[in-house]
Structure 1
Amino acid sequence: MNPVIKNIESIRKDKRMKMKEISDYCGKTITWYADIAKGRRRVYLDDVLLIAESMNVHPIIFFGEKLSVTLSKQKPA
């Protein structure tokens, strides 16, 4: 499973939020969110930003380790 989706789901569960709460906040169906959570639907940046807002978190935490590894491999300008 996509590590970003894993992080989103982990945070959702830690916050004890239901999929329906997030999908309602985002103006989407519960199927939309469930498909993202199960890896059946591609998640776009706009969706990640909405999901983060619904959870009241900064979206960068969803990318965590993957983002830090990518940034550490970049050469300085």
Structure 2
Amino acid sequence: MQERWVDGDAAGASWRRPDPQSAFSPTEVDPMQEIHTEWTLLQEAFCCKRRLALNAFDAWRVHSQPSLGTARAAAL
């Protein structure tokens, strides 16, 4: 169930509270779609972190074994 919020009065009050009349309706985002989207974002974040870790490892390896770095640079 998705919770909606009721804003303060039209005079610009800054309070907010949950709307007691709110309930999931077909016009709102499907919770399964939200889960799928969050899962996709987690996968992308994992792949990005994995890529960063591999790049860091590669940089360390090249730094610790310069002969590999020269061979790799020549191959590129």
Shorter-chain TM-score bucket reads under 0.3
- Using CA pairs under 8 Å that are at least 6 residues apart, name the structure with larger relative contact order, 1 or 2: 1
TM-score, structure 2 normalization = 0.20
TM-score where L is the length of structure 1: 0.20
Max Rg structure = 2
Name the structure where helix makes up a greater proportion of residues: 1
